[in-house]
Each structure stands twice: as structure tokens, then as C-alpha cells.
Structure 1
């Protein structure tokens, strides 16, 4: 009897996805890379693949290589700032991956963020900001797009910034309980938040990048 196809390949996985083992086979943008095979290793909520490819080195030789990539989709994040009171609005939540890798309690201070799912970056970050902080964003500024861990994670993160006022906090925030989220909303003076990036009290990469952008090029660059 033929082997049963792995869920997520020819047959749908628990999220209805198929052909997860074909991602990358049609890449043609870099003539020094020839993708040979894609193996689906895991398809739980996100997707782990092992890709075999040939790479043309500077010495003119093709070498066969393998890379494992973790595909969790793309995401968006926003720095919420009050220019009049010189404050920023952050979140604090438990992150098991950092807890298991040396963080004292796993509770990270972060800018509001989330996966795009099927939305564009602006729609997604407006949704996430409302869910996590209770803020209805008005004006939104695109800052930059960054690959946060390009050696293994495919995610591209879309960064933005938006002013807020106390009146725009129309709900308590705290995240979506049905998704297991338990998020504290933390308002800090900008200068204190920036200083916390040097003491380790803020250790999240996206948050550090946005705070440094705000100090160098953004709303607090003259401070």
C-alpha cells in the first residue's frame, strides 16, 4: 500500500493547508541558487521545512547545502507615542521561548505586535493595537520592514509608529483571552524606556529598534 501523504502536503493539515512542501521550488531570482527539494518536517500552527539547494560560490563551484526554515508568517508592530506627554505605550506578557533561554521570568516589555494572518500590515497592526492596548490608531507612519532572524526564520516584520492620546484608549486592552493572551499595558516616559534598552529591562529587538528610531529620526529626535 502506498504511504499516506503527510498532512500539509497532498492532503490538508488541521488548518486546511496543502502543498507546504512546495514553497521555494519555483524561486528564480538568484541565478546562483538552485532549489532541489523541500521536505516538510512539521506543520502545527506554523511550518518547519528542510530545503536542499545548490549554491554557486565565488570560486565557480556548485555546492549542495541544506537549511531548515521556520515559517510563522509575516508580522507587524507599532510604537505608540504621546508627543505632548513624551510617553510610549508598551505591553508586558509572558514569552516562554525567552524564559527557557535564560530570561529570569519570561515577562517582556514590547511594542504592540502580531501576525498579519490574511490582512495587510496596516490593517493588522490597527487590530493588534486595539486588542493589546485598547488604542484606536489614527495617523500611522510606516518606519521600515525588517527580517528579524534571517538565518532560520522567514518572518518579515513591518514596523510603524503612531501618536496616541489618552482619549484614544477606548478599551482596556489586554489581548484576546480565547487565544491565551494575558497582556499588561505599560505607559512609560520615553526617556526612561530608551534608557531601559541599555540596562536590559527592555530586551525585545523590535522594541529596541523602534525606540532607537524614535530617538534618532522619529518624534523624540530633538530631545
Structure 2
């Protein structure tokens, strides 16, 4: 299993970054790095009547640095000490202007276990056109520059199949929706 035998805090800001000494099961000691960014939650809202889902884009420094177009993402945010269900409802309103009803748990994933402590609780949630009660765009003062996108479920499926949905949490959620609700897709692909 291994054990941490030393830890040096390198950076303490938006995230905490540490250098670790880890003793592997065979006794070898290696250096590893740890990004401590807490727990998070994400949701893929979908409208089964209009056959669409709601995703967002926002400027992400790594994506900008790679010179790529903005990445479509599920609504997400850090827990900040709030219960996952309550937090994702807040995020849905802030980011998407969307009121969520019942949440369907999907998984609690490790997005990047080699380096990050983050676990992300994933949910699916149905919504209707009447649940679009705000503009979204992010919380005032957080400077998120979020854009809200409703896309068809067929477009979502096509992006999954073509490998074009590149955000990991969103891909997992889209695949879960495809598996759990196959009746939502036309043509039975």
C-alpha cells in the first residue's frame, strides 16, 4: 500500500501543493507531489421532454495554455463545507440559472489520483424549460465568465462517440446518462 513519511508544503493559495516522500510497499522511498484541492460535486442536467442537456464553458488556464477551444463541462464546484446535494443546487443556479429537483447519484470519482486529493460526487438531474429561472454565468465577484449551452441529447451522444467530449467528469456523466436512459436517444444508436 505504501506510506507517506515526509511532507513539505510548497504552495498554499487557491490550492495547496506539497512535495511528499512516499515509502512504497517494497521499501523504496520516492518523491511524489500532492495537489490538495478538496472535494467537489458535478451535475449533468437534462430535459427528457425537449431532449437536451445543459453544459457550460468557461475560460480554463490549462486549456488556454494548450491553445484549445473552451471545453464543454457539466456544472460543478467545490463543496466548501456544504452538503453535496445543497452545493450542486447552488452551483446549478449560479452557473446555469437552473433550478434542480431530484438528483440521481452516479459515482464519487477520483479525477486525477496520481496527484490530486479531489473527489467529485457526480449526479444526473432532470429539468424542464420552466426550471431555467436565471441567466447563469457564475456567482457575482467570482469572475468565472461562464457561458451556458443547451445542446441536444443527440449532439451529446455524438460527441461521446466521436471522443469530442474531453472533460472527464462530463464524459462520465454523459456515458452514465446514455447507459441509464437509452430511451432518450433517437435511432437507437
TM-score, normalization by structure 2: 0.91
Instruction: Name which one, 1 or 2, has greater alpha-carbon Rg.
Output: 1
Bigger relative contact order, structure 1 or 2 (CA pairs below 8 A, ≥6 apart):
2
Question: Is the aligned partner of 1:97 residue 2:62?
Answer: yes
Alignment match of 1:123 (pick from 86, 92, 108): 86
Aligned residue number for residue 67 of structure 1: 32
For 1:89 and 1:121, how far apart are their aligned partners in 2? 19
For 1:70 and 1:221, how far apart are their aligned partners in 2? 40
For 2:4 and 2:144, how far apart are their aligned partners in 1? 38
**Higher normalized helix content (fraction of residues):** 2
For 1:221 and 1:39, how far apart are their aligned partners in 2? 52
Give 5+ residue unaligned stretches, structure 1: 1-31
Alignment match of 1:87 (pick from 52, 67, 92): 52
Give 5+ residue unaligned stretches, structure 2: none
TM-score, normalization by structure 1: 0.78
CA RMSD between the two structures:
1.6
- Per-residue displacement from partner, 1:46-102 (whole Å, max 9, x unpaired)? 100111121222xxxx11122101111111100100111111011121111122134
User: Does the 8 Å CA contact 2:96/2:136 hold for their aligned counterparts?
Assistant: yes
How many residues are paired up?
Answer: 185
Q: How far off is 1:222 after superposition?
A: 6.2
User: Does the 8 Å CA contact 1:214/1:221 hold for their aligned counterparts?
Assistant: no
For 1:213 and 1:64, how far apart are their aligned partners in 2? 39
